Structure 1
């Protein structure tokens, strides 16, 4: 058979086959669509802040190719929801075709202004429906969003140039221009209450000589690249209180990101930091939860302050993508502090300084990638832009009745540059510490665990028996090696644990007295 004849026969065959094929014929839908969900909860959002994108899958289980005559929002163009159907945005669609045994995706978003509704009382439950077809064939999928009112703090923007205001900061009495977007807080913003949550865009700076007071139960939410800055001669006073039900945290002050959806609830690195500049003074944090920041607390300067630059008590710091607390040649006092899940160190006292932590749980069970540093890092130097090593005094770093543990080993690093005139003073007293130097990598006098000038009454590598480190539940159970191991001197100094349980008669190590974990079903 010639190649020409073969080609002709192939064309004839294809023509005959195609003439027998039934063309796609789309019949109207009959109200028998199926959906991946019957209600889409778009979770909680702040007023005028866009939600995440949610999806709905629509199935045609029938043997027929169908056309959905209408697909749209019940509230039509007035709806605060937005749809995208097979990549096309809109609020009403007509004659949406769907092949037999096929499916399509609908993506849903919302941006809602709570002020459009009467008497919202701080929050409003906004609803709508996605309607498929009409009449007897009508099918609906409910849409639900809880909208919260809030007080917004954001920098100014020039209407002509569209340039966003940046901060000039007072650092140790010197005015320094920065590229940080933000502004100083107004006098009316220097007391934050629990009446409404605060949403902060950019860095909100406490002006020189002023105090930002945050009342018990207040909620501060920070956008990406945002945070608090406490300037020279300024102060922060966080006045949280113990909550009767620790699960509710209703009287604590909470610092976190501005995304309220569950997928973001434990996601690290959503916002910047609480930054105490060199020269800030009289800073106090009590009963606070600081979560999902780049650095939970960044504290600079004033290592020889008569009163510690920062006192933090009964507080928790979780899910910091870099450091839980980073001190740089500063002075910090911590009691009943719990830190966990940090991308670098949970506590780092760098470039010297003065640090005293009593009955604290400093752990690090970071599981989001490689972690370079241990739970606790101490050093006495920095390297400047010209690669010069600058050394200063670590005046003191005392850890008393603490738990220092994690999923790496060892969980302490003492990184000293030795100079005759520079001190490197530290001591761990009655602590439970993870430190196994199986390869003899940590040598020298700083790692002599028998030197009572640096280590006294400690336990090593025994199980702290935390409840659930992945969920930041670092209360200890009845099998913990930390039970009754606290020195009474320090228990008297901090007589109740972070849950307000008395510890003076039989002090356990760390921030919590132990409990009996309930049996799992």
Structure 2
């Protein structure tokens, strides 16, 4: 009986399948619909592949259809690449779409701008995906902007190895090498004529200065960055911009992925690294975003002048630390740091620091954060030892230290070294509701030798922290908090501070609804 039922079931399946229309398609009648009429692939650099973009092709009819031909209008010479329902290529025949169903097409491009006619170092490259031919043909346009750039990268040798930079030896005697190269004399001035794209670490050699002009754009590939060697210098010569959205005169450091989806992604590249002994570094009107560590500074150069003077600069979306200084010597004005995976500002292993009218906050929301917005230390823990160094001074005048955690200012102190600091006219978030630090003298906010005219836990009324917009409103607790005798003349946007100036990098404004 089981065998008879099995035979009958098999026959039924065969008869049912022979009646299905899945295998009887009708030719496409030119009535396909698409998820978009034009696929815009966002700006890419010449010879760097784009992200993958998708197009959905719908068959809204009651019939299974067959598209006899899908192809790029420019054929095999096209710089676009397609994947149609899992098949790669540039031309496809007899593609079926079932009734009330759809297929996916994925689109990418890589183009060499030297092969294209261009103006102003960029070229709008277009093509189209054609469905069918003749009177039934339908098209979806493809558009992307190809941008030219200066490409700087390590040399590749005949044996397959790549140029490296040496950083001495580890504890086991192994040489520490990273992929990188030394900038030559012809590469020590970055202009604003077209962007720079750096692969690996570009090193400023000893006794040389890398000068970066106002309006320059510097992009780093993953695991890349900028290194300033002993006795070398970095001068970032940005200027105030007229358009705060475009920042046309500011120098911008970011990753080499230009698509909007990558515009605020942390950790796309390494760091600007001011190594031990670098000297006379100056940064003015710069935006540093999406790095692992925005600026890393190791030791000062032993002079009586700051190793780094940084003004009117923004550091955002650092995967680890926005500004990390180990025994640094820094003077900063109108400095803004936000959205760091660890601390926005970490003054580690002692040093000398003065920050005026700066905004150090941390509203990182891409994971759990164990560090405050500002962490100040006179020690450095290694696997084997705890090293200490004098914190000669750490002065904060008219600053905002805030974030989305209760404790946004913390100290890590060794009694074996000096630990000197002072906060004047600052707005600080320090909500010690568990009284963890009630008996710790470093957190005696009533002590005027440590905290003078500073307030705790009042609302700074930022414009939009999730967008790194740290302007303060007129209702901000920082409004009128600054000391007129120590305040910066202008804020980071060039607004002249009035007789009742505000703390932080921005003067207060009325937010538009």
Instruction: Report if aligned partners of 1:27, 1:67 keep a CA contact under 8 Å in 2.
Output: yes
Instruction: Report if aligned partners of 2:473, 2:508 keep a CA contact under 8 Å in 1.
Output: yes
The residue aligned with 2:315 is 317
Instruction: Report if aligned partners of 2:277, 2:301 keep a CA contact under 8 Å in 1.
Output: no
Equivalent positions of 1:91-490 (< 5 A) are: 91-159=90-158, 161-168=159-166, 178-302=176-300, 304-385=302-383, 387-419=384-416, 422-442=417-437, 443-490=439-486
Per-residue Cα deviation, 1:254-294 (whole angstroms, up to 9, x for no partner): 00000100001111110000000000000000000000100
Using the alignment, how far apart are the partners of 2:370 and 2:184 within structure 1? 40
Alpha-carbon shift at residue 118 of structure 1 (Å): 2.8
The root-mean-square deviation of aligned C-alpha atoms, in Å, is 1.6
Alpha-carbon shift at residue 416 of structure 1 (Å): 0.6
Using the alignment, how far apart are the partners of 1:14 and 1:400 within structure 2? 82
Higher mean C-alpha deviation, range 278-287 or range 238-247: 238-247
Instruction: Report if aligned partners of 1:167, 1:177 keep a CA contact under 8 Å in 2.
Output: no
- Unaligned regions of 5+ residues in structure 1, if any? none
Using the alignment, how far apart are the partners of 1:476 and 1:322 within structure 2? 26
Alpha-carbon shift at residue 119 of structure 1 (Å): 4.0
The residue aligned with 1:515 is 509
The residue aligned with 1:506 is 500
- Unaligned regions of 5+ residues in structure 2, if any? none
Using the alignment, how far apart are the partners of 1:295 and 1:228 within structure 2? 11
Using the alignment, how far apart are the partners of 1:276 and 1:13 within structure 2? 77
1:40 aligned to 2:39?
Answer: yes
Using the alignment, how far apart are the partners of 1:9 and 1:77 within structure 2? 52
Alpha-carbon shift at residue 178 of structure 1 (Å): 3.3
Using the alignment, how far apart are the partners of 2:18 and 2:118 within structure 1? 66
1:27 aligned to 2:26?
Answer: yes
Alpha-carbon shift at residue 179 of structure 1 (Å): 2.1
With over 3 angstroms needed to count, the CA separation of the structure-2 counterparts of 1:5 and 1:199, relative to structure 1, is: closer
Using the alignment, how far apart are the partners of 2:8 and 2:110 within structure 1? 61
Alpha-carbon shift at residue 168 of structure 1 (Å): 2.6
Using the alignment, how far apart are the partners of 1:354 and 1:212 within structure 2? 24
Alpha-carbon shift at residue 220 of structure 1 (Å): 0.2
Using the alignment, how far apart are the partners of 1:23 and 1:477 within structure 2? 63
Per-residue Cα deviation, 1:82-132 (whole angstroms, up to 9, x for no partner): 001111110000111111111111000000111112343310000000000
SS at match of 1:352: strand
Using the alignment, how far apart are the partners of 1:82 and 1:294 within structure 2? 32
How many correspondences in the alignment?
508
With over 3 angstroms needed to count, the CA separation of the structure-2 counterparts of 1:19 and 1:247, relative to structure 1, is: closer
Instruction: Report if aligned partners of 1:228, 1:274 keep a CA contact under 8 Å in 2.
Output: yes
Alpha-carbon shift at residue 62 of structure 1 (Å): 0.8
With over 3 angstroms needed to count, the CA separation of the structure-2 counterparts of 1:397 and 1:71, relative to structure 1, is: same
Using the alignment, how far apart are the partners of 1:110 and 1:377 within structure 2? 44
Using the alignment, how far apart are the partners of 2:166 and 2:7 within structure 1? 81
Alpha-carbon shift at residue 450 of structure 1 (Å): 1.1
Instruction: Report if aligned partners of 2:276, 2:301 keep a CA contact under 8 Å in 1.
Output: no
Alpha-carbon shift at residue 162 of structure 1 (Å): 1.4
Instruction: Report if aligned partners of 2:279, 2:301 keep a CA contact under 8 Å in 1.
Output: no
With over 3 angstroms needed to count, the CA separation of the structure-2 counterparts of 1:12 and 1:518, relative to structure 1, is: closer
With over 3 angstroms needed to count, the CA separation of the structure-2 counterparts of 1:123 and 1:389, relative to structure 1, is: same
Alpha-carbon shift at residue 7 of structure 1 (Å): 3.9
With over 3 angstroms needed to count, the CA separation of the structure-2 counterparts of 1:24 and 1:462, relative to structure 1, is: same
Alpha-carbon shift at residue 452 of structure 1 (Å): 1.5
Using the alignment, how far apart are the partners of 2:7 and 2:237 within structure 1? 89
Using the alignment, how far apart are the partners of 1:99 and 1:8 within structure 2? 30
Using the alignment, how far apart are the partners of 1:23 and 1:119 within structure 2? 49
Q: TM-score, normalised by structure 1?
A: 0.95
Instruction: Report if aligned partners of 1:192, 1:213 keep a CA contact under 8 Å in 2.
Output: yes
